[in-house]
Amino acid sequence: MISALPMIPLAVGAHRIIRGVRVEHVCGDPGLSLEMDQELSRQIVSTALHALQTAVSSPTLFEPAETVTGKEVVYV
């Protein structure tokens, strides 16, 4: 599950949770340029594919690689 609010799926017991960006745009950021937004989306999807290949026995949060912007990202 890709979620901008990962504590909710963790609390209900989803096994693989990938941290998204924002509630309105879970797999991207429309404030970025088109190229940077696409790269961010690729990172999130790549993290999701890695999560599917990883054996887990309990709820696990997967963090995408560092953000494309190089800025600190605040998850609300």
Residue 50 lies in a domain: yes
Residue 68 lies in a domain: no
Residue 35 lies in a domain: yes
Residue 34 lies in a domain: yes
Give me the domain span that covers residue 28. 2-62
Report the greatest alpha carbon distance in the chain. 38
Average pLDDT over residues 47-73: 78
Task: Look at residue 30 in the predicted model and tell me its pLDDT.
Answer: 87
pLDDT in tens, 11-57: 999 999 999 998 888 998 889 999 999 999 999 999 999 999 999 99
Residue 27 lies in a domain: yes
Count of domains forming the chain: 1
Residue 26 lies in a domain: yes
The helix/strand count (H/E) of the chain reads as 2, 3
Task: Look at residue 68 in the predicted model and tell me its pLDDT.
Answer: 43
Task: Look at residue 75 in the predicted model and tell me its pLDDT.
Answer: 43
The pTM for the full model equals 0.78
- The rounded distance, in Å, linking the Cα atoms of 28 and 7 is 19
